[in-house]
Structure formats: structure tokens, C-alpha cells
């Protein structure tokens, strides 16, 4: 048996057991090149393909061109967005590469034609989160209880996300168990200065390896929406160790974590209270709202892109322009006529 053999690898003498263990470790290391969310998606996509193969009693591997075309049509009939079925194919292709099993290239003419045909037939309009605005935030402000630790920490998270154009995943964990110190935002990531608070982000969607630091200064404002005052109040009312989640709170001297789902639930509840329709508001509403406000007051596009940590020009799709702003296009054109 291989586990009872010894052999040389370079100048090292290794056993068969060590070799097999290293092979398994190497496979895990390669899989760790993917972000946790990407790994979860690929596992979901692979599971869906295996269930499809089982249902129609066709061999799943190697993935044939005919099978992948039928599988895509099956997905198209089940999913509303053509982009979703496309993502399932790319997830399957990535899984096959890791498993080292054959899979057709997705740039094959028949596959690209089918993807284009599905997009044309479904005509899906992607959902975008509604942006929070200063007017809405001012409506919410009176409902923040300055004596309640959860309310104060929730408000600090909201204003930090708004003024940092932050993705909700960058400021709040999905669950207490998913929180990772050193990667997720901690209390130690806030640095207090006399004229601002510096928020240091170690990890983000565009910085998954944590090889750079995004430092965003928050200036004090003469407004109920001052993020500096909100963060300061949170630190005073809920003191926690530096390694604790940034927006934790204390009740009876016990620390608790605000999760993404709790945050969104509170946001929608308060929006309903102030007469706003909560449908369409999500964690992304902070990012869209903050970027839109910055654009509307003349912040240069380069600064918006840097502040929001966008790696491409995708930030332009986050901007919500009012009709009066759009009217300026033809008005200025008319001045030259």
C-alpha cells in the first residue's frame, strides 16, 4: 500500500501517508483562493447540476456540450434572471476545473448563443436597492433612543455605512459565529483624532487578501446626522474590547453583536414608522445613498470611486440622479445653440 512506502522527493524522505496528506492539503489551499461567499456559490451550483443529472438519469461527468445546453435551458425555465442561470454555468465550470474533469468552454458558439437568446427572451430588469437620502435619515433620527445601547450602535452603523459608502458586509457580520477579528471591522479600526475619526477597513470585496488598508476619515458635522458624534456616543454607551465587532452593544454588561439581518430589519421597521415604503431598501441603500449625495454636491468622481473602494467604473451605476440634474444636460446644450 502507498501508505507503507517511503520515497524521496528532492532531498526529503516522505511516506506515502505524508504524500496523500499533502495532496489533500494542496487541494484545500487551491480552493482557499476563492472568497468564502464564492465557495458557497460554487458548491450550490455544483449541487444543482448533480441533482439535475440525477433527475434526468444522465452521467454528470464529463460535462458534455449537449448536457450543459439542456441544463442551461432547465435553469432558464426555473429562474427569473438570465444572469442567474449564467452564473450557475460559470460556477459549474469553476467546480470542474478544481475537480479536474472536462467541461465545455463557455465561449463556445452554441453556449454564447443560448445565453444571448435567454437574455433576449426574459428581458429582465435587475433590482437595485433604493438609496437612503439625508431627508429620510433626518426622519429616522428622532426615533433613535440615545439611552438604549442597541439603538445607539445601530445608528452609528447606519451613518458609518452611509458616509463611507460601505457595503454592509464591510461593517456588520452575517452572524456572531461568522465574525472574524482582523478581517471584519472591529472597535480597534476606529482611530479618534481631534478633527475626525479614521475608519480603517482591512478587508473588502475588492481587497479579499487584505494586502492593503482603506482608511476613510469621517468629519464632524453640525447636523443630527453627524457620524463622529454617533460613533462617539456608541463608544461611551457600549464600551467593548478593541477586538470586538465595531458595532457591538452591551446590555447588563454583556456584549452583543448587531448582525446584517438585524440591522436591515430595524431599518425597514423604522422606515415604516416614518411613513416610508420599506420595499426596496436594503443594506446596499447606504452605499447608493452616500455616493449619490456626494455626487450631487460636486465631489469629484475620482474621490467617490476611491472613497467607496470601487475597482472599476461600476460606481456610476450607484448614482441616482434627480430629474432636475438630468434636465441640466439639454439646458447646457441649449446654451450653445
Note whether 56 and 138 are same-domain residues: no
Of 122, 144, 173, the one marking the end of a domain is: 122
> If you search the block for the grid coordinates 511516506, which residue do you land on?
15
Give yes or no: residues 19 and 47 share one domain. no
Confirm whether 112 is domain-assigned.
yes
Q: Check residue 182 and give its pLDDT.
A: 77
What is the model's pTM? Answer: 0.69
pLDDT score of 80: 76
For residue 302, give the CATH number of its domain: 1.10.443.10
pLDDT tens track for 244-283: 999 999 998 899 999 999 999 999 999 999 999 998 899 8
Closest Cα to residue 250, out of 237, 264, 233?
237
Residue whose C-alpha is closest to residue 174's, from 183, 187, 164: 183
pLDDT: which is higher, 150 or 279: 150
- Structural domains in the chain (count): 3
Same domain, 197 and 250: yes
335 occurs within a structural domain = no
Is position 333 within any domain?
no
List helix spans (H) across the chain: 16-31, 36-56, 65-78, 82-99, 109-122, 134-140, 149-163, 168-171, 227-237, 260-273, 284-296, 301-307, 323-335
Both 109 and 58 in one domain: the answer is yes
Identify the domain boundary among 89, 122, 155: 122
pLDDT of residue 12: 65
Same-domain check for residues 76 and 216: no
Residue at 212 is within a domain: yes
Q: How confident is the model at residue 5 (pLDDT cuts 50, 70, 90)?
A: low
Confirm whether 128 is domain-assigned.
no
Please give the residue range of the domain that contains residue 104.
34-122
pLDDT of residue 8: 62
Question: Domain check: are 47 and 110 in the same one?
Answer: yes
Residue 21 falls within a domain, yes or no?
yes
The residue out of 70, 98, 122 marking a domain boundary is: 122
Average pLDDT along the chain: 86
pLDDT grade for 188, boundaries at 50, 70 and 90: very high
Do 172 and 301 lie in one domain? The reply is yes
Do residues 296 and 251 both lie within one domain? yes
- Percent of the residues in the chain that have a pLDDT greater than 90, as a whole number: 52
The pLDDT assigned to 319 comes to 60
Q: Which residues of 192-207 are buried (b: 16+ CB within 10 A; e: fewer)?
A: eeeeebebebbbbeeb
Residue 49, pLDDT > 50, answer yes
- The domain spanning residue 108 has which CATH number? 1.10.150.130
Q: Are residues 318 and 221 in the same domain?
A: yes
pLDDT tens track for 76-97: 888 877 788 899 999 999 999 9
Residue 187 is assigned to a structural domain of this protein: yes
The answer on 150 and 275 residing in a single domain is yes
Q: What is the mean pLDDT of residues 183-187?
A: 89
Do 156 and 227 meet the contact criterion of CB atoms below 8 Å apart? yes
Verify that 154 and 245 share a domain, yes or no.
Answer: yes
pLDDT for res 203: 73
Classify residue 140 by burial, with Cβ atoms within 10 Å: 0-12, 13-18, 19+: buried
Give the mean model confidence (pLDDT) for residues 121-142.
83
159 and 269 assigned to the same domain: yes
Dihedral angle, C-alpha 82, 83, 86, 92, nearest 10 °: -130
In-domain check, residue 234: yes
Amino acid at each position: 500500500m502507498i501508505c507503507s512506502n517511503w520515497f524521496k522527493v528532492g532531498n526529503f524522505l516522505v511516506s506515502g501517508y505524508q504524500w496523500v496528506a499533502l495532496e489533500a492539503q494542496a487541494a484545500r489551499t487551491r480552493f482557499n483562493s476563492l472568497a468564502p461567499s464564492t465557495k458557497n456559490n460554487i458548491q450550490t451550483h455544483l449541487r444543482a447540476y448533480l441533482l439535475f443529472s440525477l433527475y434526468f438519469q444522465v452521467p454528470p461527468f464529463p460535462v458534455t456540450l449537449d448536457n450543459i445546453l439542456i441544463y442551461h435551458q432547465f435553469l432558464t425555465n426555473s429562474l427569473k434572471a438570465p444572469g442567474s442561470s449564467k452564473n450557475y454555468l460559470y460556477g459549474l465550470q469553476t467546480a470542474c476545473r478544481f475537480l479536474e474533469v472536462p467541461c465545455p468552454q463557455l465561449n463556445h458558439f452554441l453556449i454564447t448563443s443560448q445565453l444571448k437568446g435567454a437574455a433576449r427572451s426574459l428581458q429582465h430588469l435587475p433590482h437595485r436597492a433604493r438609496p437612503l437620502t439625508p431627508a429620510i435619515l433626518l426622519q429616522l433620527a428622532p426615533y433613535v433612543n440615545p439611552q438604549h445601547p442597541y439603538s445607539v450602535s445601530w445608528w452609528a452603523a447606519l451613518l458609518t455605512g452611509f458616509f463611507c459608502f460601505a457595503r454592509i458586509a464591510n461593517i456588520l457580520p452575517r452572524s456572531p459565529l461568522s465574525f472574524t477579528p482582523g478581517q471584519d471591522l472591529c472597535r480597534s479600526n476606529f482611530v479618534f483624532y481631534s478633527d475626525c475619526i479614521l475608519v480603517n477597513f482591512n478587508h473588502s470585496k475588492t481587497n479579499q487578501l487584505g494586502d492593503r488598508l482603506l482608511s476613510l476619515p469621517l468629519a464632524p458635522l453640525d447636523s443630527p446626522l453627524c457620524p463622529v458624534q454617533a460613533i462617539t456616543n456608541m463608544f461611551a454607551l457600549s464600551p467593548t474590547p478593541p477586538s470586538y465587532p465595531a458595532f457591538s452593544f452591551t446590555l447588563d454588561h454583556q456584549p452583543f453583536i448587531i448582525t446584517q439581518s438585524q440591522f436591515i430589519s430595524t431599518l425597514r421597521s423604522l422606515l415604516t414608522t416614518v411613513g416610508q415604503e420599506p420595499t426596496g431598501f436594503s443594506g446596499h441603500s447606504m452605499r447608493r445613498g452616500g455616493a449619490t449625495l456626494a455626487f450631487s454636491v460636486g465631489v469629484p468622481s475620482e474621490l467617490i470611486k476611491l472613497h467607496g473602494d470601487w475597482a472599476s467604473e461600476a460606481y456610476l451605476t450607484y448614482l441616482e440622479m434627480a430629474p432636475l440634474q438630468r434636465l441640466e444636460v439639454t439646458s447646457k446644450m441649449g446654451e450653445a445653440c
